[in-house]
C-alpha cells in the first residue's frame, strides 16, 4: 500500500543552494525529487547560452557522489548547469553536505562554482563548495549522456579529506514540451471522496536557456480533466539537475498546490525523471503532488505521472467509465434506479491484465457501516460480469471490457448513529440531506466506491495499482418541513420562585412530498431516556423535542435525550399544538405543529439553547415491523438566542435550494426589526456584517435601527462546490453583540 503523506518544507538550513533560497521565498513550494537514472537513449542537453557553449558538457547534469568509507559526511555536489567553450568548462551546481552524526542538519550547502577542462572524452572538474573543494576526474561516455570517475575532497568544510572515491553524472534532458499524463488522487480524508481516482492532465512546460547557473526556471500550463480541485492552472518553478520545483498557481494568482517534495522532507518518496524508449521523458512520483483549494477544502495528496514529448508510459492500464456516478435524489421507498460502469483494459502495450479484483464499499454515513440502520437493507447494491464468482480475481485481454451495475434504493436520509455503532449521537439537519434534495458528496450522503486492484505496478511508469469510481446518492425524507429552523430569540428565564417569560408560538408545516402515504407515529405521555429507535409504533412518540449535544452553528449534533428540565420537569421548547402525531398523511397532504419557548430554571441558557424537533414516522402506514421508518426524526432545529431586541424574519435564515455551481442565485430577503416590546430594547447601532461561505449580502440598514423600525438584507448564493454548501452572516452591533443568519444551499 502506498504511503500518502502531505509534504511540508523543512526549517531554514545554513548556506542553502541559491535555487533553494529563491524558492523558500515563494509560498507553498515543493521539489520533485527526481532520482538519477542512467539514460539508455541519447538525450539532448539543456539549451546553451550561445554557439560558443555548444559542447557535449553544456547542459543540465545530475551528480552522484559515493560517501567516504569513514562515513564522515554524506552528499556533495548534486545538480546544475555546465557551459563548454572549446576545451574550457564552467558553470554552477547546487551542493548539500550533511554529517551522519547530526542527521537532518546541513553542515554545508549552497551553490558551487565549477571550472574545468574537457579533452576528447577526458574530463577534469573542480567545484568550490563554500570552503570545501571537490576535484573530479573522469570520462565522458560516447553518446555524451554520462560521466564517471573518481573525486577527492580536501575536508575543509565537512568531514575528513578523501581521495579516490567514485562519482558519476547523468545528463538531464530539458523539461520542455507538451505534457500528457495523470493525477492519481490519494486523499483519504473522511470528508473527501478523492481516493484512487485518475484524472487526465495535459499542458506544456518551458525550461529557460542554460546560462551556467545552478538552476533554470520552468513555466507552463496544466489542464486537469474532470478534477474537482482545479480546472486549469499555470506552473512556475525551477530545475537543478533532476530536482524540479513546480508551484501550481490558480487563475487568481494564488498558489494552490505543489508537485514533488523538498529534499530531506520527512516521509517523501522519490520522484524519477527518466527517458523512455520512444525518446520522451517522464516526471513521475508517488505522493508527488499536494493541492488545497476552495473546491477541495480538505485538499488532495496523490501521485503524478507527466509524460513530456512523445512519452506514452504515463498512460494508465485500465479505464473506468464514467469516472463517477451521482444518482438523482429520490424518496425513500421508491423503486430502485441503476447505472453502469464499464471497465476496460487499455494497457498501451497490449498486455493481458490478470489478477484484477473488484471491491465495492458502501458508506451510508460518516462511518463504514454497510447497511441502513433500521431495516438492515443496503442503500447501494453492486453486480458485475467481470468475475465468475463475486469477489474473485479475473483477467481482461487487451481492449476487453466488463460491466459493473450499481443499483440505488435509499433506505435512510439521515443516519441514526453516524458517529459510532454503539453511540446515541445523531446528525442534525445542517449536516443531513433530508431537506436539501440534491447530491451531497460528503457524509452522510449515501456513498460507495468501486475499486479495481491487482494491476502489476512493476510494468508501468507509476506505482498506481488501484483505480476507483466514487458513487453518490441521496435519500429524501417523505415529510419535508416548511422551514429547517425556528429562532425564538430570548425570553426571561424562570427561577425557583418566579415564573419566566414564554414566547409566542411559532408554527411549522410538514408536507408529504412522496407518492405514498406516510404514517406519523402517535404521541405518548412519557419520554424515556435515552430514546429508543422508532422502529415500531409505540416505541417513541410521534413528535417530541430532543436535546442538542454540541452548541455550534456548524457542528451541532443530536443527543437522544428528552428536553425536560430537571427542576420544573417541563420542556424548554414546548409543543403547544400538535396536528401531526397519529396522522396518516396522503401524498401532498400537510400537517402543522406549533412550538413555544419557555426557558426553565434548571437549564443553562449560556450559551444559547440549540435543540431539535423530532418527528417519527412509519412509511408503510400499517405498522409492520419490517417497514422502514422514514427518516424525518429531527427535521427542525430549535434555537433560542441570548437577550437581544433584534428580530429576524424569516427566523430560520435562508435556504437557497439547488443552484448550478459558479452561477449566482436570485436574491433572497431577510427583514430585521427592533422589537419595542423586548425589555432589552434600545437603538441598535450596527458595526458591520461578516459574511462567510459562498454568499454575498447588501442591505439598507444604515448605521442604526430605532425601536419599532425595520430594514432589509438581500443575499445571493454562488456555490463553488457540488453538494451541500452552508455559510453565515454575523450582524455585529452595540459594541460587541452579534446575531447569526444561517445560510444554506446546494451546488449542482
Give the model confidence (pLDDT) of 203-230 as tens digits: 999 999 999 999 999 999 999 888 888 8
Q: Which has more pLDDT, 377 or 151?
A: 151
Whether residue 308 lies inside any domain: the answer is yes
d(C-alpha 479, C-alpha 631), whole Å: 9
Same-domain pairing of 528 and 581: yes
Same domain, 508 and 633: yes
Is pLDDT of 566 > 90?
Answer: no
Q: Is the pLDDT of residue 400 over 80?
A: yes
The per-residue pLDDT of the chain, averaged, comes to 75
- Please state whether beta strands 543-548 and 573-578 pair in parallel, antiparallel, or not at all (unpaired): unpaired
Residue 628 and residue 652 in one domain = no
Specify the pairing of strand 271-275 against strand 31-35.
parallel
Cβ-based neighbour number of residue 710 at 10 Å: 13
φ, ψ for residue 683 (rounded to 5)? -60, 130
Residues with Cβ within 8 Å of 642's Cβ and at least 6 positions away in sequence, in order, are 490, 605, 606, 607, 608
> Partners of 511 in the beta sheet?
480, 590
pLDDT at 455 over 80: no
Grid coordinates representing 455 are: 494491476
What CA–CA distance (Å, rounded) separates 685 from 674?
Answer: 11
Say whether both 261 and 340 belong to one domain. Answer: no
Q: 156 and 217, same structural domain?
A: no
Are residue 492 and residue 628 in the same domain, yes or no? yes
CA Rg, the chain, in Å?
A: 33
How far, in Å, CA of 154 to CA of 65, rounded?
15
Band the pLDDT of 456: cuts 50, 70, 90.
low
677 lies in a domain?
yes
| Residue 683 scores a pLDDT above 70 | yes
The answer to the question of residue 495 being in a domain is yes
What total of structural domains would you count in the chain? 5
At 178-190, the pLDDT tens digits run 888 888 887 554 4
Mark whether 162 and 214 lie in a shared domain: no
- Residue-wise pLDDT tens digits, 282-338: 666 655 667 767 667 667 777 788 888 766 667 778 888 888 888 888 887 778 899
3-state SS record for 486-545: EECCCCCCCCCCCCCCCCCCEEEEEEECCCCCEEECCCCCCCCCCCCCCCCCCCCCCEEE
Pick the residue with more confidence: 450 or 513? 513
154 touches 118 (CB < 8 A):
no
**What secondary structure letter does DSSP report for 563?**
-
Q: Could you tell me how far CA 248 lies from the centroid of its own chain?
A: 16
Are residues 513 and 384 part of one domain?
A: no
Strands of 467-473's sheet in order across:
325-326, 467-473, 446-453, 353-364, 394-396
The two most distant CA atoms of the chain are separated, in Å, by 105
- State the cell numbers at 133: 573543494
CATH number of the domain that residue 511 is part of? 2.60.40.10
Q: Taken in order 617, 620, 624, 629, is the CA torsion positive or negative?
A: negative
Would you call the peptide bond into 524 cis, given omega within 30 degrees of 0 as the criterion?
Answer: no
| Strand 162-172 with 122-129, pairing | unpaired
Residues 256-296: tens digit of each pLDDT:
877 765 554 443 344 556 665 555 566 666 556 677 676 67
147 part of a folded domain: yes
Residues 564 and 425 in one domain: no
In a domain, 16, yes or no: no
Show which of 596, 620, 643 is a domain's final residue. Answer: 643
**Beta strands at 132-140 and 122-129: parallel, antiparallel or unpaired:** antiparallel
Domain match, 380 and 433 both: yes
- Residues 149/137, Cβ–Cβ less than 8 Å: yes
CB 387 within 8 A of CB 394: yes
With respect to residue 24, please indicate whether it lies within any of the assigned structural domains. no
Q: How far is residue 670's CA from residue 712's CA, in Å, rounded to a whole number?
A: 6
What span, in angstroms and rounded, lies between the C-alpha atoms of 80 and 95?
Answer: 9
What burial class does residue 100 get, using C-beta atoms within 10 Å of its C-beta: 0-12 exposed, 13-18 middle, 19+ buried?
Answer: exposed
Could you tell me if residue 9 is inside a domain? no
Final residue of a structural domain among 139, 172, 205: 172
Q: In what order do the strands lie in the sheet with 380-384?
A: 318-321, 337-345, 401-408, 380-384
> Which structural domain, as residue segments, surrounds residue 359?
319-476
C-alpha cell, 647: 428580530
Do the Cβ atoms of 128 and 36 come closer than 8 Å? Answer: no
pLDDT (0 to 100) of residue 7? 29
Whole-angstrom distance, CA of residue 707 vs CA of residue 710: 9
Please report, for the domain that includes residue 109, its CATH number: 2.40.128.120
Query: For the whole model, what pTM was predicted?
Result: 0.67
Within this chain, do residues 183 and 306 fall inside the same structural domain, yes or no?
A: yes
Percent of the chain residues past pLDDT 90, beyond the cut: 20
Q: Cα(first)–Cα(last) distance of the chain, in Å?
A: 34
- How are strands ordered across the β-sheet holding 584-585? 584-585, 518-520, 617-618
Q: Which of 172, 203, 225 is the last residue of a domain?
A: 172
Instruction: Looking at the structure, tell me whether residues 610 and 650 fall in a common domain.
Output: no
342 pLDDT higher than 80 = yes
> 14 lies in a domain?
no
Burial label for 126, CB within 10 Å (0-12, 13-18, 19+), is: middle
Amino acid at each position: 500500500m502506498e504511503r500518502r503523506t502531505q509534504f511540508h518544507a523543512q526549517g531554514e538550513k545554513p548556506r542553502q543552494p541559491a535555487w533553494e533560497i529563491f524558492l523558500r521565498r515563494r509560498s507553498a513550494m515543493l521539489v520533485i525529487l527526481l532520482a538519477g537514472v542512467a539514460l539508455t537513449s541519447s538525450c539532448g542537453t539543456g539549451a546553451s547560452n550561445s554557439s560558443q557553449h555548444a559542447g557535449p558538457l553544456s547542459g543540465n547534469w545530475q551528480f552522484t557522489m559515493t560517501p567516504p568509507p569513514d562515513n564522515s559526511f554524506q552528499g556533495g555536489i548534486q545538480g546544475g548547469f555546465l557551459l563548454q567553450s572549446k576545451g574550457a568548462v564552467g558553470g554552477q551546481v547546487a551542493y548539500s553536505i550533511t554529517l551522519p552524526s547530526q542527521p537532518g542538519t546541513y553542515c554545508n550547502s549552497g551553490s558551487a562554482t565549477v571550472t574545468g577542462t574537457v579533452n576528447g572524452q577526458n574530463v577534469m572538474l573542480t567545484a568550490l563548495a563554500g570552503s570545501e573543494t571537490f576535484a573530479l576526474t573522469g570520462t565522458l561516455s560516447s553518446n555524451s549522456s554520462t560521466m564517471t570517475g573518481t573525486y577527492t575532497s580536501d575536508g575543509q568544510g565537512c568531514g575528513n579529506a578523501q581521495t579516490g572515491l567514485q562519482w558519476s553524472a547523468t545528463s538531464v534532458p530539458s523539461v520542455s514540451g507538451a505534457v500528457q499524463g495523470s493525477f492519481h488522487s490519494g486523499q483519504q480524508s473522511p470528508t473527501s471522496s478523492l481516493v484512487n481516482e485518475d484524472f487526465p492532465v495535459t499542458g506544456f512546460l518551458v525550461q529557460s536557456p542554460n546560462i551556467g547557473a545552478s538552476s533554470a526556471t520552468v513555466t507552463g500550463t496544466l489542464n486537469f480533466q474532470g478534477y474537482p480541485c482545479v480546472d486549469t492552472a499555470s506552473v512556475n518553478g525551477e530545475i537543478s539537475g533532476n530536482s524540479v520545483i513546480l508551484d501550481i498557481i490558480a487563475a487568481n494568482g494564488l498558489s494552490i498546490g505543489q508537485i514533488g517534495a523538498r529534499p530531506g522532507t520527512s516521509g517523501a518518496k522519490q520522484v524519477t525523471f527518466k527517458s523512455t524508449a520512444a525518446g520522451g521523458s517522464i516526471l513521475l512520483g508517488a505522493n508527488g503532488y499536494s493541492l488545497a483549494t476552495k473546491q477541495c477544502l480538505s485538499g488532495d495528496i496523490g501521485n503524478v505521472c507527466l509524460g513530456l514529448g512523445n512519452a506514452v508510459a504515463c498512460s494508465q492500464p485500465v479505464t473506468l467509465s464514467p469516472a463517477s456516478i451521482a444518482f438523482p435524489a429520490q424518496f425513500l421507498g421508491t423503486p430502485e434506479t441503476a447505472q453502469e460502469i464499464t471497465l476496460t483494459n487499455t494497457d498501451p502495450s497490449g498486455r493481458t491484465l490478470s489478477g484484477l479484483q473488484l471491491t465495492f464499499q458502501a458508506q451510508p454515513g460518516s462511518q463504514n457501516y454497510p447497511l441502513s440502520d433500521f431495516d438492515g437493507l443496503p442503500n447501494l447494491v453492486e453486480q458485475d460480469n467481470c468475475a465468475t464468482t463475486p469477489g474473485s480475481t479475473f483477467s481482461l485481454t487487451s481492449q476487453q471490457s466488463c460491466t459493473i451495475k450499481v443499483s440505488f434504493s435509499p433506505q435512510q436520509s439521515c443516519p441514526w448513529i453516524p458517529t459510532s455503532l454503539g453511540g446515541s449521537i445523531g446528525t442534525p439537519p445542517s449536516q443531513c440531506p433530508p431537506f436539501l434534495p440534491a447530491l451531497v458528496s460528503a457524509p452522510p450522503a449515501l456513498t460507495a466506491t468501486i475499486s479495481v486492484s491487482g494491476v502489476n505496478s512493476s510494468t508501468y511508469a507509476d506505482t498506481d495499482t488501484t483505480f476507483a469510481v466514487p458513487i453518490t446518492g441521496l435519500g429524501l425524507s417523505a415529510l419535508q418541513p416548511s422551514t429547517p429552523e425556528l429562532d425564538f430569540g430570548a425570553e426571561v428565564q424562570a427561577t425557583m420562585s418566579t415564573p419566566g417569560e414564554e414566547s409566542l408560538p411559532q408554527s411549522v408545516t410538514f408536507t408529504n412530498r412522496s407518492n405514498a402515504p406516510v404514517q406519523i407515529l402517535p404521541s405518548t405521555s412519557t419520554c424515556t431516556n435515552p430514546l429508543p429507535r422508532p422502529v415500531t409504533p409505540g416505541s417513541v412518540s410521534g413528535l417530541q423535542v430532543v436535546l442538542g449535544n454540541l452548541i455550534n452553528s456548524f457542528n451541532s449534533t443530536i443527543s437522544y435525550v428528552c428536553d425536560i428540565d430537571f427542576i420544573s420537569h417541563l420542556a424548554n421548547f414546548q409543543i403547544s399544538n400538535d396536528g401531526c402525531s397519529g396522522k396518516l398523511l396522503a401524498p401532498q397532504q400537510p400537517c402543522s405543529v406549533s412550538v413555544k419557548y419557555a426557558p426553565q430554571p434548571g437549564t443553562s441558557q449560556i450559551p444559547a439553547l440549540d435543540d431539535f424537533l423530532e418527528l417519527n414516522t412509519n412509511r408503510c402506514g400499517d405498522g409492520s415491523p419490517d417497514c422502514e421508518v422514514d427518516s424525518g426524526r429531527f427535521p427542525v432545529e430549535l434555537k433560542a438566542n441570548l437577550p437581544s431586541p433584534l428580530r429576524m424574519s424569516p427566523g430560520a435564515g435562508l435556504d437557497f435550494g439547488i443552484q448550478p455551481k459558479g452561477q449566482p442565485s436570485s436574491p433572497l430577503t431577510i427583514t430585521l426589526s427592533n422589537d419595542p416590546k423586548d425589555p432589552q430594547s434600545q437603538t441598535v447601532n450596527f458595526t458591520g456584517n461578516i459574511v462567510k461561505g459562498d454568499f454575498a449580502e447588501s442591505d439598507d440598514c444604515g448605521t442604526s435601527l430605532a425601536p419599532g423600525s425595520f430594514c432589509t438584507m438581500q443575499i445571493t448564493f454562488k456555490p463553488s462546490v457540488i453538494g451541500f454548501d452552508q455559510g453565515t452572516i454575523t450582524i455585529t452591533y452595540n459594541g460587541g453583540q452579534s446575531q447569526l443568519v444561517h445560510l444554506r444551499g446546494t451546488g449542482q
